[in-house]
Structure 1
Amino acid sequence: MTDVLAGPRSVPQERRLVTELPGPRSRELAARRAAAVSAAVGGTVPCYVERAEGAVVVDVDGNALIDLGAGIAVVNVGHAAPEVVAAVSDQVAAFSHTCFMVNPYEGYVAVCEELARITPGDHAKKSALFNSGAEAVENAVKIARHATGRSAVVVFDHAYHGRTNLTMALTAKNMPYKHGFGPFASDIYRVPMSYPYRDEPGISGAQAAARAIAVIEAQVGADEVAAVLIEPIQGEGGFVVPADGFLPAIADWCRQSGALFVADEIQTGFCRTGSWFACEAEGVVPDLITTAKGIAAGLPLSAVTGRAEIMDAVHTGGLGGTYGGNPVACAAALATIRTMREQDLAGAARAIEATMVPRLRALADRTGVIGDVRGRGAMLAVELVRPGTTEPDAELAGRIAKACHAQGVIVLTAGTFGNVLRFLPPLVIGQELLADALDVLDAAFAEQVAAR
């Protein structure tokens, strides 16, 4: 694997520490933040960013950190991707906003055309554009309910779909996403997910699907379900990859029952898992698909794409919003998609998997504290447990993440139990940079496991 954006860079693609982390300037900004920003807004890496390029983030003290988070799977094409920078600059100079519902523009239409091309299935498709992943999910539920005339929405254990009122109801984890924020939206039903590491030994994807379907039919009623909403690979829930056969069986049940199969590909989409969308791995074609994050390389944009007759079922004026499909974000999305296509970033994600998975498995064998190595493409994770058990070890996961941060490598935690380290490098990361990050991860494990 090589750096697919090799060439002159203003930010060298290397890790460089010139102060302790966080440095003095970052500490000054942290003090200003404490005085001005709500304490309810969390934080992960205590280094304040000055600039970023490719797979490297430079902080205000001049430290260069390797980014294995990509802004939570957003800058798949890398920070400051040249084609995106140029497209955004040109669009800002032309116009930055009119509201598509007032004065429309070509960029919005072109993004919808691209989504029709790249999302799974060869049926006629249409899209509507919004601002955030949560907003896309909310609108997918609106569309599904309107199109089917039903109200029940089925979601899964360990799911994460957002922080708005409806999407909090759809999300499984209480803390920090739901705690104290109720009451939540109604007619939401949760069923068991296929979680191979924590399921009964030997349960197949088809059997796990039958288990979930039995709950739906007994507790909700097949003819009440407007939509079954699922992340093909769960994100915040811990990068849970369902067993083969689970997604196709759920999708088949939806077709037979008249419910819509809605794929939340907000974190998995746009080449992250080694194909345009994670559903493609098993040939699953959703009725509706929600996208965001990697769609526009950091500018706020999201979408619901679906079968044309479903997307047209809502009355005129029923979908929209002031900023949805902002022209600058649309320009960024078109440049992002071009970059992914031209540089085969789906292939780059598969190459990242080929490099990382053997290293992570070797780490698991060596340390005895990793219960599972999982994921696909450049969406990979390790689940930490107490040795010889499946008991989650969130405390160790947190300490290892902080140890990586202190050495200039950005990693993220996740999981219902808080015990998962997840890795989401920009797809343009070079082999040497990735190897350096993995060396830091190895050292962090060795240090923190020995300290127990």
Structure 2
Amino acid sequence: MSELQYRLPQTRALVTELPGPRSQALTARRKAAVAAGVGSSVPVYAADADGGVVVDVDGNSLVDLGAGIAVTSVGASNPAVAQAVAEQAAHFTHTCFMVTPYESYVRVAEELAALTPGDHEKRSVLFNSGAEAVENAVKVARLATGRDAVVAFDHAYHGRTNLTMALTAKSMPYKAHFGPFAPEIYRMPMSYPFRDEAGLTGEQAARRVISQIEKQLGADSVAAIIIEPIQGEGGFIVPARGFLPTLVGWAREHGVVFIADEVQTGFARTGAWFASEDEGIVPDIVTMAKGIAGGMPLAAITGRAELLDAVHPGGLGGTYGGNPVACAAALAAIDTMREFDLPARARHIGDVALGRLRALAADLDVIGDVRGRGAMLAMEFVKAGGTEPDPDITKAIAARALEQGVILLTCGTYGNVIRLLPPLVIGDELLGDALDVVEATIRTLAGSTRG
């Protein structure tokens, strides 16, 4: 891997309590100007960011184990991305690809055809957000198959628009009071090894799903199955091996479009370009966003040519979809991932972190499960000695870690999962320091629960 260079010191350093006075002042201004429905995980405001650190407006340097929810994989101010953005913006910021097209959109589509699983002929469409990508993948599947039903899964997260809220499993805060939702969405049980009955294999879990589909829907009514190869917001749930391939095999047999939602797992995050590669599955359509463009808003669907080309001209698109500045950023981000071999870097992060987290779990009965792949890792917290979810200790761990300068994110259907999503360019020393804080925080709080 090429040698990483950083613009900011890659150290954790606190000069005020958190949140500091400037962050507190911004919070007061925010309350008067920003809708209360917009939440933030941490109460500090960013002023700068680079590599694995975020510097807040009070001058505190925090270790970033969130990466903007798996977005800034190449760093929040990657020099190649920043240069590409500046150069493109100096020429034109927008024409709308549907009006006056440009080469960078085509180049991104060519890259996606090369990077996504499978060697079949592919087509791509670019959008702005993961939710848009998911909506359009479902549109394509319904049109191409002439069917209506879409199968989604327990613990799924696919977005906040009306259709994607219907696909998303968790009510609060994503769905509560926002209905009615789009029809013809059917939810099936996910393979969740930590909470499944003992001994249930991935293939058996998939057969359970298939049986329910065939009994409740009928295969010939199903347009698509959509699933995150590793679930994100639902708790970083890694399905048992065999679950995904069995579902793909059934979908192929029955003409059902298999959509892999790789919005969070894509672009080197799990140690491969796409998480689907782990078991060699080849989705019919892949949805992408987050890490695709180094922090610029860009999303995409890439799928079998016969599916996407079935849509009539004008049926896919959007005013800002594939914005030229975002396309320039994506091309630079992809080049950076190749140059620094970020899939390998993600695997290294996983090797370092998983060993420590599993050793910690062996010592503490409040950690029910440690799971993940590459730099997409999680700990599920439970009441001591059992499997009952413990969201209280989970929130306390994230809050206590922030007090010490480490940004952690929580997730999970039960609110009891700590997720680790560091930028893939984080250095070993900084990662080790952050893990020291996380470990000490968990040990302290686990000890207090025993008291």
| Fold shared per TM-score above 0.5 | yes
The answer for the alignment partner of 1:92 in structure 2 is: 89
Structure 2: how far apart are the matches of 1:420 and 1:273?
Answer: 18
**Alpha-carbon offset, residue 447 of structure 1:** 2.1
Q: What is the rounded CA distance, in whole Å, between the counterparts of 1:204 and 1:393 in structure 2?
A: 26
Q: What amino acid is the match of 1:311? A: L
Residue 366 of structure 1, CA deviation: 1.9
Q: Which residue of 2 aligns with 1:377?
A: 374
Q: Residue 425 of structure 1 aligns to a residue in which SS?
A: coil
Separation of aligned partners in 2, 1:184 and 1:10: 46
Of 214, 217, 221, the residue aligned with 2:218 is 221
Residue type at the aligned position of 1:435: G
Among residues 345, 350, 355, which one is paired with 1:353 in the alignment? Answer: 350
* Structure 2 CA distance for aligned equivalents of residues 15 and 363 of structure 1: 22
Q: Distance in 2 between matches of 1:112 and 1:343?
A: 22
Q: Say if 2:150 is the partner of 1:149.
A: no
Q: 1:78 aligned to 2:75? A: yes
What is the CA–CA distance in structure 1 between the aligned matches of 2:163 and 2:414, rounded to whole Å? 23
- SS at 2:258's partner residue? strand
In structure 1, the residue matched to 2:189 is 192
Give the match for residue 249 of structure 1. 246
The residue aligned with 1:13 is 10
Cα distance in 1, alignment partners of residues 203 and 299 from structure 2: 32
Q: Provide the alpha-carbon RMSD of the alignment.
A: 0.9
How many angstroms apart in 1 are the aligned matches of 2:41 and 2:152? 28
Q: In structure 2, what is the equivalent of residue 325 of structure 1? A: 322
Name 1:437's counterpart in structure 2.
434
Summarize the Cα distance change of 1:244–1:309 in structure 2 as closer, same or farther, 3 Å threshold: same
Q: How does 1:14-163 map to 2 (within 5 A)?
A: 14-163=11-160
1:73-114 per-position Cα deviation (integer Å, ceiling 9, x unaligned): 001111211110110010000100000000000010000000
Q: CA deviation at 1:200?
A: 0.6
- In structure 2, the gaps of 5 or more residues are none
Q: Residues 404, 371 of structure 1: CA spacing in aligned structure 2 closer, same or farther, 3 A cutoff?
A: same
Aligned residue in 2 for 1:179: 176
Count of matched residue positions in the alignment of Structure 1 and Structure 2: 449
Residue in structure 2 matched with residue 167 of structure 1 by the alignment? 164
Aligned to 2:386: 389
Cα distance change of structure 1 residues 5 and 397 upon mapping to structure 2, 3 Å threshold: farther
Task: For residue 451 of structure 1, give the secondary structure of its aligned residue in structure 2.
Answer: helix
Structure 1 residues not aligned, in runs of 5+: none
Any idea what SS the aligned residue of 1:39 has? coil
Aligned AA (1:211): R
1:365: Cα distance to partner? 1.6
Matches within 5 A, 1:236-385: 236-385=233-382
User: Which has the higher mean CA deviation after the structures are superposed, 267-276 or 10-19?
Assistant: 10-19
CA contact (8 A) 1:5 1:428 kept: no
* Aligned mates of 2:444, 2:38 — CA distance in 1: 30
Quote the Cα distance in structure 2 between the aligned partners of 1:65 and 1:313.
48
Distance (whole Å) between structure 2 residues aligned to residue 78 and residue 5 of structure 1? 14
Following the alignment from structure 1 to structure 2, what is the Cα–Cα distance between the partners of residues 341 and 125?
A: 21
The one-letter code sitting in structure 2 at the alignment partner of 1:22 is P
| TM-score, normalised by the number of residues in structure 2 | 0.99
User: Residues 127 and 305 of structure 1 are in contact (CA less than 8 Å); yes or no, is this contact kept in structure 2?
Assistant: yes
Cα deviation digits, residues 149-203 of structure 1 (max 9, x gap): 0010000000000000000000000000000000000000000110000001010
Once the 2 structures are TM-superposed, how far is the Cα of residue 6 of structure 1 from its aligned partner? 3.0
- The 2-side partners of 1:423 and 1:331 are apart by 28
Cα deviation, residue 363, structure 1: 1.3
Q: Secondary structure at the match of 2:150?
A: strand
After TM superposition, give the deviation of residue 5 of structure 1 in Å: 5.0
Structure 2 counterpart of 1:148, one-letter code = T
